[in-house]
Chains A and B, each alone.
Chain A
Amino acid sequence: MTPEEQLAETVRVEGRRVLATLIRAVGDMQLAEDAVQEAAVSALRTWPTSGVPDDPRAWLTVTARNRAYDMVRREAVRPAKETAAGWHQPPASGDVAEEALAALEPDSVVADDMLRLVFTCCHPALSPEARVALALRTLAGLEVAAIARAFLVTEATMAKRLVRARQKIATAHIPYRVPSDAELPERLPAVLAVVHLIGTEAHAPTGGEDVARADLEAEAVRLARLLAELMPGEPEVLSLLALLLFTAARRPARTDAGGDPVLLADQDRFLWDRAAICEASALLAEAVRRSGGVAGPYQLQAHLSECHSTSPAWPDTDWDRIIGLYDLMLRISPNPAVALNRAVAVGERDGPAVMLEELDSIAAAPRSHLWHAARADALRRLGRPGPARQELALALAEAPTGPERRLLARRLAALSPDPGPGYAAGMVDTSVAHVARVYNYWLGGTDNFAADREAGERAIEAYPDIVHSVRANRAFLGRTTRYLVREGGVRQFLDIGTGIPTANNTHEVAQAEAAECRVVYVDNDPVVLAHARALLSSTPAGVTAYVDADLRDTGTILAEAANVLDFSRPVAVMLMAILQHVDNAEDPYGIVGRLVAAVPSGSYLALSHPASDIEAEAMAEMGKRLNQLMAEKVTFRGQTEVTRFFDGLDLVEPGMVRVQQWRPDTEAERTSPAALWGGVARKP
């Protein structure tokens, strides 16, 4: 630690204790917080030149009290507080050091005040978010900006959360006191949960790019140490501290050189912090001695963590003991996350088939990405790469953080049999926006990642009506499909650029009109395909099939589709908002020509295309932004260029028009803003 850091640390630690006492004295958390903040700023400004006082806490106490007094006097509307604080006389402005000695509370009183602060900040009448925010701000003295960063919200949002929490404490009169011994069993878990929550967020962030957050982890340990100091010998406090230390000890081994997560099984155990593990083991032993044979939930978790921490290598892990501990935890409180971990441990002991049974017996929905990933692992070990890929893609679609997604994408790539063109491992890179997921975001879906949402939002800024456009395009898909079945007599569909399934997918519309309709979907995004396989199911009479292929690879598309479709009978080729991803150098007209050439007379081409000549300026700006952020580039086209795709075909009424004007069912559909051209044409 540099002298500056040492100084800041002193101000922070002592400042919290001063605050705890000042809150009791003035009975106003916000006022006390502001006063201590000003005192801290003043200390950091003056101490580097004047030197750190002999008793920093005394100095801060007096300074903060004077500040608080000034504030109360300034707001003369609050005489009650002045009286409450016993400040009928302003404190002498003279010798701070002398006065400080008189003002200093004995350590035991300060400890009681800290404990009051702990129980007030973690009061169950506050929301968990507010408790965590208060614990980090008020108990740990972390800056608001740092807390906001840790929880991925803006500083203003976090500041507001803190103000609201303090207002609730004040107006609802949440008491500033330590619960009685009788109340403690009820109140202590709420306090421990706050610290545990901070530790969990540090260990496994629920968002963002970090595998773990060292700074937040340090705060959790710091808070747990504070609790252990304030409530000596409390077994669950000791267990929680032990648990946090076991976890923190592994941090150096949890990230590889590229910043990606390394799973427990693969970690280099020589990188673990042995000193921290020893301290944690000693704390846990103490907790066991004091708990009188009744292990609380944190003690069980700490035992579990110790079991891993003291095992020389993954294969040496004592799985019997681990599974036994999970059984105990599940008996105390059934919890799908614990059941999942138990299933994984069972898989290590009894093999993947048993693991799969265990996983499938976990009833709770929704399935988390971890459940899908575990299931994928069991399937892979059982030699079933196909279903394993499907599970991995589902896990990938739900994994909340960048590092987790990269790990899953790597596993998926390792399982992919033949990464062909357009299906390279890079396509699963969720750090880059992908067209299907951006489209899903515009439609209000949840199958998208931060990069997709970012690209989607930037596009919306440029062209707000894009959200209407994508809906109008879906509506156009529905109307053209119905038209093709009803009036075109078509029973076979080749839908290229499926997108992530949503309501009214092509096969649903077609098979509702005529159950025997056969639909082949084509897409190049493994995430889309996994969804399609999992979610799209056919009527018994009809057939729905999926092809992994890129639009440009017409040879593969036609060969695979021929397994399902009879190319001697009419086929509708559907190209909905997909050709904009083929630029002119890649011969979009040739691609459409080859597809149309493969289908017989009486077949149809249904096509929509984002327009460069409707809302031209906004569309151009949106296109520019999407091209900066998306892996696949876009080329918007004008009415003449889009009409060219229908060359040699007979456009059906009303011809090539804005999609919303193509046989709209309702007035709302007709007038919806949408910058896409669309049409349906019959092959003569």
Chain B
Amino acid sequence: MPLERLDKLATAWAIFQGLLLEAIPFLLLGVAIAGLARWAVPPGAWIDKLPKNPVLAPIIGALMGFALPACECGNVPVARRLLASGAPMGTAFGFLFAAPVLNPIVLASTWAAFPDQPWLLVARPLGAFLLAILLSLLLVQLPETQLLATALLEERRMSQPLSNVGLLQRSSGLIGASTTTTRPATNQRIKGWQMLDQSCREFLDLLALLVLGCVIAALVQTWLPRSWLLAVGGAPTASILALMLLAVVVSVCSSVDAFLALGFAAQITPGALLAFLLLGPVVDLKLAGLFTVLMRPRAIVITAISASLGVLLIGQWINLWQL
């Protein structure tokens, strides 16, 4: 193997380690919050109180991001726990897509990186909020069976009242039980050890997918020169598209992406800058694997395409307004 290729492989290996080691603490934080919430507060106690209105549900979900100051890796296990507990889908997806931006740490880091650009401090959370509502409204149009990953769907069925799902849908094997609107046994508090064991399994499942995502992101980053993407910095539409691609490839956490963007903010259009800060927390290579615990491949593709179109439109509008 030529020396140059070995050098690139060594660089990819180092980028992989950097991405992975930085993401693992946030993944653990998300899994811990999801596990503790399940242990301390039985789902039935508050899941039933969440609004089911298709517009209100994602709004509530998006605002829940303020309770979890983590990046996108940490939000996946929490969103999964919400869905498995029978929460309205709009709430869970609103949380999944908005929380990586609508949380105190990310907002503070955006402010720290761009204190002289007040428009960005408004546009980023507002754009993330609108994008989350849009994606949630779109995804809930799909039937749950086409949207949710099989294992998650089965878990969700077990948490839903029998008035909502049939016995065959639930696959519980209990024929002849009375149809009731109350939740099944998941209302009961689980034991501490049980919670710890389940959380560890969830962590290991997600970690395997995170490893996969980091491998892909590191390889693409090493072999795709970033300067190519930034070469079109001044062109309004091309710069937005290039920075969207960069956000997907770089896969850096939302809590620090503003500092990364600061490095090339002067070379690109304002719309491209916002597009980078909006798309990365929703869609990136590192997340691609993690999303498979939530959604079926078709739903992931719909999410990626819709998010990209939404961000492109927002970026274009910002360029029209700012340039």
Say if A and B assemble together.
no
